[in-house]
Amino acid sequence: MKSLSEIETVSKRSSRAAGFSWGIAEEVGKNIRMLELFGLNGIKNLNYYFRARNKKNFEKINLISNENKISKIEFCPIIAGLNFLDQVRSLEILNEIKFEKIAYPLLFLPFASRASEVIGKKLELKIDNRAFLLNYNNSIYANSSNEDIIEIGNNVSIKFKENEDSFEESEWKELYKLSENTFVEESESSKVGGAGAELTDND
């Protein structure tokens, strides 16, 4: 079994060999490592993407808006992902971002996951009928089983989720009341034995 370090290194070097700068290649390496860590098919999708890239000149998007439509051919997932990550602080006020046709969109996903950590909000990424909940770059929840290759995401959207508790206030109060049973009133003996208190003075 290949280690995550090997996966990151080979993904980075292959990206450089495919024509990306070392800076972008490093980002790709980190992303493929993350996909494989979460059990998603990063290596397979990267291989297929490089094969397709030899035949197609995927469209590069620089400035991202709430509605992003292609002019001729699918968006490059790496360039789209990089620019989304770079611009996410200004994009979050839009609440939802939509893309028309991203090639191999699983390669876009790690950029969105990292953006979730940057802004401190959960993101919901939808790739057609597949939904992914991105939790501050710590975990990914998917509504479908892992698929080997996703060649095109015809409709890709990202929603910025507002931070809120997953429980009711009444549930919190009930649990908090139970926790109060651990509170102990301070007695004279506990004051004497408390941190920083000594019975003798050696000065």
Q: What is the pLDDT of residues 156-168, one digit of tens each?
A: 999 999 888 889 9
Q: Mean pLDDT score of the chain, rounded to an integer? A: 90
Running DSSP on this structure, what letter comes out for residue 40?
Answer: -
Q: Sorting pLDDT into bands at 50, 70 and 90, what band is 183?
A: confident
Running DSSP on this structure, what letter comes out for residue 73?
Answer: S
Distance CA 34, CA 111 (A): 10
The structure's pTM equals 0.84
Q: Sorting pLDDT into bands at 50, 70 and 90, what band is 143?
A: confident
pLDDT in tens, 54-75: 999 999 999 999 999 999 999 9
The average pLDDT across 143-171 equals 88
Give the percent of the chain with pLDDT over 90: 80
Q: Sorting pLDDT into bands at 50, 70 and 90, what band is 194?
A: low
Structure tokens at 35: 């996909």
Q: Which residue in 114, 134, 131 sits closest to 122, CA to CA? A: 134
Walk across the sheet containing 130-135 and list its strands: 67-68, 96-103, 152-160, 123-127, 130-135, 139-142
Cβ–Cβ contacts within 10 Å for residue 127, how many?
Answer: 22
More confident residue, 40 or 148: 40
The average pLDDT across 122-127 equals 96
Q: How far is CA 60 from CA 71, 149, 185, in A?
A: 10, 21, 65
Judged by DSSP in three states, 33 sits in helix
Distance CA 97, CA 155 (A): 11
The average pLDDT across 43-63 equals 96
Is the model's pLDDT at 184 over the cut of 90?
Answer: no
Look at residue 94 in the predicted model and tell me its pLDDT. Answer: 93
Distance CA 37, CA 109 (A): 13
Continuous segment of H or E residues that includes residue 153: strand 152-160
Look at residue 34 in the predicted model and tell me its pLDDT. Answer: 96
Q: In terms of C-beta density within 10 A (0-12 exposed, 13-18 middle, 19 or more buried), how is residue 173 classed? A: exposed
Cβ–Cβ contacts within 10 Å for residue 69, how many?
Answer: 11
Query: CA torsion, points 42, 46, 49, 50, in degrees to nearest 10?
Result: 180
Give the percent of the chain with pLDDT over 70: 89
Within 20-156, residue ranges assigned H as helices are 22-37, 42-53, 77-91, 109-119
The average pLDDT across 77-92 equals 97
The average pLDDT across 94-98 equals 95
